[in-house]
Amino acid sequence: MADTSAIASMEDREYRYRLPVSSDKESTFGDPYFPAWWTQSLQRIGLLLDLEENWDSYGARPIDRRVAYNAVQILQEIAPAGLPVPAIVPTANGRLQFEWHAGGIDLEFEVLSAVRILASYEDAEQGVEWEKEFDYDLKDLGEVLRILTHRVHGAVQAA
Amino acid sequence: MTPPTGTPLPDFAQPPLSEVAISVQFEPLPRLVVPEIGLLWQHYGGKYPHVQQHPPVDPAIERLGVRRPRSRRPNIELVVETPFPRIWFLTDDEKELLQIQQDRFIRNWRKLSASDAYPRYDDHIRRAFVADLRDFQDFLDTNGIGRLTPNQCEITYVNYIEPANGFQTHAHIGKVFSIWQQDFADDSRYEVENATFSVRYLIRSDSGDFVGRVHASVQPVYRGTDDQTAFQLNLVARGKPFSPDLDGIMQFVDEGRERIVRLFADITRPEMHRTWGRKNQ
Amino acid sequence: MSTGRSKLHDMAFVAYRDDETIAGDTLLLRRVPTNPAINVVWDDNLRCWRPSSASFEDHENGSPMSVVLSDTLEQLGRPMESALSGYETGFSLAAFPASLARANGQGVARDPIPEEPAHGVVFGKKTKAISRRLAKGSRWIVPPDLPDRGI
């Protein structure tokens, strides 16, 4: 497989990304290398990384770049295929929060560090609600992302 | 955490090791910057007289629930400011080194010449790592840089397996590794040129909780000096410290090392073990 | 009602008490950066743009959430939009009733400051679920200029 690299410029920020691309089409099946949420999310995060001190008028901190990197890495690892594009918001403490509000589900998770994620989940349809901190075992978080994805896609197909 | 079996650890007189590294990742220390690295080098004095600068290594955290391993997803690099480098501090003979960056501490032993003998985990590797990590924490404390909050530990064994016992070309992978069926390699319908494989095993605590992984990967290689055929077998145990302190780090490292040694013996053939001088069967 | 402790502007610890003179229907006003759309999310369940829960959190240093009290604005003869004074560009104004805060285990107290005589605080531990309930229970006083994503 040949490596190709490309540089994408967004505003004044450069994001360098490298992906393995097969020089020959070996198969028509396979994971998409660029899921739909990924490109939009990178653009959004680029915007948020430009926020300055007190961006919320209440003394909020700029976004910690390392935490932003960890947040993207974590979501990449657990995102199911077809994950709806998340809303990404900054928190006053300089972190990123991913949010989804669709299909009767409210799911939010904030990446506090490489090994601390605070997540909140409400499923009005199933009457389930929890809030917990994750460290290394993200199975349950991945599971609710899968539930959300199926719920949203099911609604789209029905419409 | 109970060891995989109760039997003694496999022991080899001449294991095909070319490098052993122990690493700990921790919450970033933003105050560990260039002037402090200079002070650290002064602190080391003659112990590590040589210094090199390298790009930093990305964090690597073992998580459960991962759908897509790192090799199968786009690699993102935030080019915002000059990243703080990874600094190598090398002994005079350059066989041992520390690698330090704002979120990682690594100690390596490497075989640079054929006559270099593996200095042994219990006799030297472990002891040297503990001493240098303690010393590093003391330095951080003395200079107000911060405390180490470890979040991941890692031990790596790099093996360079040279031809022996019928292994002459990369097609003979089945003569080296027991998990490769010899019958398939010998089947004349398939002219194997070379092969590569990788396997990941989960590490769990006694109570079944996720701790980390052991990664085994085999690559066909050629020695740079004379193009000699060989296989490179990398064995990496990576996971969370048992507790956020030196004891917790070493509990994982000891556990990881034991799993690596047993796995090495299990996935390589007994015929190769004779070449490496296995002492206990 | 619960009390809260917090660092104030001069780093002095202050114990807050829920102020019963703040009626349940008093609106608590909160600025939300929305231009660009920083802390506003499309809630497809509610079919509307609303503040993110991240707009309704305490500060990491322990300071409780700042708000502007509508009853004090009324006494001062100021419109609610005046809570955006100095932040007219890039911000919208959301409001939720004091009763919603108290129903979620929060206390509400007056905390006038020189820059804002109508300043108050909402104190108490805020889980993400609580912050989200405050966000979902809020309404726009000065809405963001964002396209409707409803069909």
How does pLDDT run across B226-235, given as a tens digit for each residue? 888 999 999 9
Closest CA to A79 of A107, A104, A48: A107
Residue C124 pLDDT more than 50?
yes
Indicate yes or no: pTM above 0.80. yes
Q: Which residue of A has its CA nearest to B204?
A: A137
Residue B186 pLDDT more than 80?
no
Task: Tell me how many degrees the CA angle C27-C33-C37 measures, rounded to the nearest 5.
Answer: 125
Shortest alpha-carbon distance between residue C111 and chain A (Å): 15
Task: For an interface test with C, give the residue of A44, A54, A55, A57 to mutate (most C CBs within 10 A).
Answer: A57
* Amino acid (1-letter code) at residue B159: N
Mean pLDDT, to the nearest integer, of C29-39? 90
d(CA B197, CA B272): 18
Shortest alpha-carbon distance between residue B112 and chain A (Å): 31
Among candidates A51, A89, A119 on the partner chain, residue whose Cβ is nearest the Cβ of C52? A89
Shortest alpha-carbon distance between residue B74 and chain A (Å): 5
**What is the DSSP code string of B160-210?**
EE---TT--SGGGHHHHBTTS-HHHHH-TT-------EEEEEEEE-TTS-E
Residue C7 pLDDT more than 60?
no
Residue B60, SS3 per DSSP: coil
Instruction: Say whether the A–C interface has 3 or more Cβ pairs within 8 Å.
Output: yes
B 3-62 near A (Cβ less than 8 A): 25, 27-28, 59, 61-62
Looking at residue A7, its pLDDT comes to 29
d(CA C18, CA C7): 17
List, for residues B70-123, the tens digit of each pLDDT value. Answer: 555 555 555 546 778 999 999 999 999 999 999 999 999 999 998 999 999 999
Angle between helices B126-142 and B246-267 (to 10 degrees): 150
Looking at residue C150, its pLDDT comes to 60
Instruction: Say whether the B–A interface has 3 or more Cβ pairs within 8 Å.
Output: yes
Query: What distance, in Å, lies between the first and last C-alpha atoms of chain C?
Result: 44
Task: For an interface test with A, give the residue of B27, B57, B67, B202 to mutate (most A CBs within 10 A).
Answer: B67
Residue B51 pLDDT more than 50?
yes
User: Chain A residues with CB inside 8 Å of C91's CB?
Assistant: 57
Residue B19 pLDDT more than 60?
yes
Q: Which residue has the higher pLDDT, A89 or B69?
A: A89
What ipTM was reported for this prediction?
A: 0.86
Among candidates B62, B80, B103 on the partner chain, residue whose Cβ is nearest the Cβ of A136? B62
User: Chain A residues with CB inside 8 Å of B80's CB?
Assistant: 13, 49, 65
Percent of chain C residues past pLDDT 90, beyond the cut: 77
Least confident span in A4-13, A82-91, B37-46, B233-242: A4-13
CB contact under 8 A, C128 and A92: no
- Band (B31; pLDDT cuts 50, 70, 90): very high
List, for residues C103-112, the tens digit of each pLDDT value. Answer: 999 999 999 9
Alpha-helix runs per DSSP H in chain B: 34-44, 126-142, 173-176, 182-186, 246-267, 270-275
Distances (CA, A) of B241 to B7, B104, B152, B250, C117: 25, 14, 6, 8, 51
- Band (A67; pLDDT cuts 50, 70, 90): confident
The percent of chain B in helix, strand and coil, each rounded to the nearest 5, is 25, 30, 40
Looking at residue B225, its pLDDT comes to 77
Tokens representing B1 are 């955490």
The mean predicted confidence, pLDDT, of chain A is 80
Residues 6+ apart with CB under 8 A from B138: none
Shortest alpha-carbon distance between residue A79 and chain B (Å): 7
CB pairs under 8 A between A and B: 95
The mean predicted confidence, pLDDT, of chain C is 89
CB contact under 8 A, B77 and A13: no
CB contact under 8 A, A97 and C43: no
Residue A21 pLDDT more than 60?
no
CB contact under 8 A, B76 and A80: no
CB contact under 8 A, B151 and A139: no
Name the burial class of residue C26, with classes exposed (0-12), middle (13-18) and buried (19+) by CB atoms within 10 angstroms of its CB.
Answer: buried
Residue C9 pLDDT more than 80?
no
Looking at residue A155, its pLDDT comes to 63
Residue A26 pLDDT more than 80?
no
The mean predicted confidence, pLDDT, of chain B is 90
Q: Name A100's bridge partners.
A: A107
CB-based burial, A74-86: b 16+ in 10 Å, e otherwise: bbbbbbbeebbeb
Closest CA to B192 of B204, B183, B201: B183
Q: Which residue has the higher pLDDT, B78 or A2?
A: B78
Contact C32, A80 (CB under 8 A): no
Closest CA to A49 of A13, A17, A76, A73: A13
- Band (C60; pLDDT cuts 50, 70, 90): confident
CB contact under 8 A, B62 and A138: no
Percent of chain B residues past pLDDT 70, beyond the cut: 91
Instruction: Say whether the B–C interface has 3 or more Cβ pairs within 8 Å.
Output: no
Structural domain boundaries of chain B? 17-275
Number of neighbours of residue B192 by Cβ within 10 angstroms: 16
Looking at residue B74, its pLDDT comes to 58
Distances (CA, A) of A150 to A81, A122, A138, B82, B107: 10, 16, 19, 41, 46
d(CA C104, CA C126): 9
A155 touches chain C (CB under 8 A): no
Mean pLDDT, to the nearest integer, of A80-109? 95
Residues 6+ apart with CB under 8 A from A121: A105, A106, A107, A128, A129, A130, A131, A144
d(CA B173, CA B185): 8
Mean pLDDT, to the nearest integer, of B199-220? 95
Mean pLDDT, to the nearest integer, of B250-267? 97
Those chains having 3 or more beta-carbon pairs within 8 angstroms of chain A are B, C
Looking at residue C4, its pLDDT comes to 52
- Band (A29; pLDDT cuts 50, 70, 90): very low
Residue B177 pLDDT more than 70?
yes
Residue B184 pLDDT more than 70?
no
Distances (CA, A) of C79 to C68, C70, C100: 12, 9, 22
- Band (A153; pLDDT cuts 50, 70, 90): confident
Number of neighbours of residue A96 by Cβ within 10 angstroms: 27
d(CA B35, CA B49): 17
